[in-house]
Amino acid sequence: EAGVVQSPRYKIIEKKQPVAFWCNPISGHNTLYWYRQNLGQGPELLIRYENEEAVDDSQLPKDRFSAERLKGVDSTLKIQPAELGDSAVYLCASSRASNQPQHFGDGTRLSIL
Amino acid sequence: GENVEQHPSTLSVQEGDSAVIKCTYSDSASNYFPWYKQELGKRPQLIIDIRSNVGEKKDQRIAVTLNKTAKHFSLHITETQPEDSAVYFCAARGLGNTPLVFGKGTRLSVIA
């Protein structure tokens, strides 16, 4: 089966600019996650979707971050405006259900100038 | 909330030797413990996982052990090979819809 697909792989922007990341989960996976991974750290959850519903967004900085999964399949994560501290790898993962193993995409490496 | 500590942060072993990475968790209700391998610039890949109803699980050269009483679990890699070199992350998840919490990772280097 095809894995989790993310795009773009790399993004370089200036601070205060907007940026968006896209994720296509594994077919049939109802649960989708967005994580942020800082250099030398483990992934940290930003938001979790069950189908199209965001069921855990407690760690999402809502003043500048937003996400959507309108049809319960693909998802986008947006940052507006980006700050220097947002530089990280943004990983998307999916699972058949929330109690099943998670599988990650390759991530988007974001660099803020 | 859950807190996961992982040790060591770096580990170097000779090819053919065994490697052991240890993690502790704080939430006694946690019941799922996966391990991920992440090569440089690549995605974290699930290599093995264990649920709290078993104490040990093996898959070829890798094994995971769980001690619920002490709240720690370990990854064991035997007969290490250079391609085992990567960063390994442990994680723990509690009951219900609590999130997966990751350790900070262990950078394993297998020296040929």
The whole-angstrom separation of Cα B27 and Cα A59 is 19
Judge: B46–A98 Cβ closer than 8 Å, yes or no: no
If we measure between CA atoms, which residue out of B103, B101, B96, B75 comes closest to residue B29? Answer: B96
If we measure between CA atoms, which residue out of B46, B69, B44, B66 comes closest to residue B57? Answer: B66
**Two structure tokens written together for B85:** 């070199």
Judge: A42–B104 Cβ closer than 8 Å, yes or no: yes
Judge: B46–A103 Cβ closer than 8 Å, yes or no: yes
Is B44 at the interface with chain A, CB within 8 A?
Answer: yes
Is A5 at the interface with chain B, CB within 8 A?
Answer: no
Tens digits of residue pLDDT in A22-47: 999 999 999 999 999 999 899 999 99
Which SS3 state, helix, strand or coil, does residue B83 take?
Answer: helix
| Residues from chain B contacting residue A10 (CB–CB below 8 Å) | none
Supply the mean pLDDT for chain A: 95
Q: How far is B83 from chain A (nearest CA, A)?
A: 19
Which residue reads 């109802």 in tokens? A30
Q: How far is A100 from chain B (nearest CA, A)?
A: 9
Q: In this model, does residue B97 exceed pLDDT 80?
A: no
Query: What is the mean pLDDT of the segment spanning B86-96?
Result: 92
Q: How far is B1 from chain A (nearest CA, A)?
A: 12
Residue of B43, B64, B95 best to disrupt the A interface, most CBs of A under 10 A: B43
Query: What is the mean pLDDT of the segment spanning A67-93?
Result: 95
Is B51 at the interface with chain A, CB within 8 A?
Answer: no
Q: How far is A106 from chain B (nearest CA, A)?
A: 4
Judge: A105–B89 Cβ closer than 8 Å, yes or no: no
What number of other Cβ atoms are within 10 A of residue A101's Cβ?
12
The whole-angstrom separation of Cα A65 and Cα B2 is 24
Which SS3 state, helix, strand or coil, does residue B95 take?
Answer: coil
If we measure between CA atoms, which residue out of A30, A11, A7 comes closest to residue A106? Answer: A7
* HEC readout, chain A: CCCCEEECCEEEECCCCCEEEEEECCCCCCEEEEEEECCCCCCEEEEEEECCEEEECCCCCCCCEEEECCCCCCEEEEECCCCHHHCEEEEEEEECCCCCCCEECCCEEEEEC
Report A:78-97 residues touching B (Cβ under 8 A).
91
Quick one: pLDDT at residue A1?
65
Q: Residue B96: which pLDDT band, with cuts at 50, 70 and 90? A: confident
Tens digits of residue pLDDT in A41-73: 999 999 999 999 999 898 999 999 999 998 889
